[in-house]
Amino acid sequence: MDSHTILTPKNNKANILLMGLRRGGKSSICKVVFHNMQPLDTLYLESTSKPTTEKFHSLIDLSVMELPGQLNYFEPSYDSAKIFSQVGALVYVIDSQDEYLNALTNLSMIIEYAYKINPLIHIEVLIHKIDGLSEDYRLDTQRDIMQRTGDELLDLGLEGVQVSFYLTSIFDHSIYEAFSRIIQKLVPELPSLENMLDNLVQYSRLEKVFLFDVNSKIYVATDSSPVDIQTYEVCAEFIDITIDLDSLYENGDQARPAIKDEVKCISTLQNGVTLYLRQMIRGLALVALVRVDNEGDVYGGDKIEDEENGNYYQSCRDKNLQQSLAIIDHNVNVFKQGLEKVWEHSRIRS
């Protein structure tokens, strides 16, 4: 079980605190990830003046609190001790296109303070706006920032603190990837979820499976095979396409009952890959990548004579696909029941 739930038993929300210097891009991140705002539109966001809290209900009830950058947290009037004791993760945003030495000093001060109050806090650093840097320069910047942060923490006598670093930009999927990793640390049921997904992959011949939050495109869990960013992007966009297509034929006709929670979408591609989407509980969707080979030996090699040779492989693949989809359907149903149980259990416990 994750530690921070013990620490704050009354507050079972996973709280994320978003901090950083002014104009680092904190509000833009919030708007893009949780409100589906277009990245270019964030140019027109005003400077945030008050701490804002937003709540999201997904597998876990998530709340993201954003602090304005120009604030001095160490004023006595400000109850920062209370805030830090209630959060599960502290996300610090550094603008990589700007001079970041100030930000690093600020960061180490905040880490020192937060760590004193809440030693179980996850500290995550987003090296943000990397879209403006060239490829070689990105890694240099990351190394430099990691080095300096390490030195600063060493000087403060905090060498045991774990700090994770992510290179992010709102113009590609890296910000979603980073947030997925951060949120996964806050889901107490993650190990069991991953186990369930691994089982699903193993018994259904899937290549990759994600459990997505439909609104934010953040994945709360995936199987243990490594995440390929391209696969992730295709799967995330597949959700968009499914939702968009589905909503087109939504009409005001009340006589026809809407079947909620049962959206299912299957799309085959030319190289034998199939994308599979099933809606799960609480705004989650399972998206899987299935690769079906066109071997005919499933049917004991009895070739269908009247098919032409070119069509033969196609029809074999079709049959294999139908068969494996039936298996996948069944297994996903079992997985869904399991997910419901896990969810119920976690509600009782908290």
Give me the residues that bind another protein (CB under 8 A), please.
230-231, 233-234, 237-238, 240-242, 244-246, 248-253, 256-260, 262-271, 273
CB of 268 to another protein, least distance (A): 5
CB of 58 to another protein, least distance (A): 19
Nearest CB to another protein, comparing residues 38 and 77 = 38
CB of 172 to another protein, least distance (A): 12
CB of 299 to another protein, least distance (A): 18
DSSP class of residue 45? Answer: P
Q: Indicate the residue type of 38.
A: Q
Nearest CB to another protein, comparing residues 135 and 253 = 253
Tell me which H or E stretch contains 63. Answer: strand 61-66
Nearest CB to another protein, comparing residues 7 and 273 = 273
CB of 202 to another protein, least distance (A): 22
Count Cβ neighbours within 10 Å for each residue of 190-213 and write b for 16 or more, e otherwise: bebbbebbeebbeebebebbbbbb
Nearest CB to another protein, comparing residues 123 and 275 = 275
Task: List C-alpha distances in Å: 170 to 4, 101, 300.
Answer: 29, 22, 51
CB of 294 to another protein, least distance (A): 13
Hey, what are 350's tokens?
Answer: 């908290």
Q: Are strands 163-167 and 122-128 parallel, antiparallel or unpaired?
A: parallel
Q: Determine phi and psi for 250, rounding to 5 degrees.
A: -85, 110
Q: Indicate the residue type of 83.
A: I
Nearest CB to another protein, comparing residues 260 and 347 = 260
| Cβ-contact 84, 113 below 8 angstroms | yes
Nearest CB to another protein, comparing residues 151 and 240 = 240
In terms of Cβ atoms closer than 10 Å to its own Cβ (0-12, 13-18, 19+), residue 95 is buried
DSSP assignment of 93-141: EEETTS--HHHHHHHHHHHHHHHHH-TT-EEEEEEE-GGGS-HHHHHHH
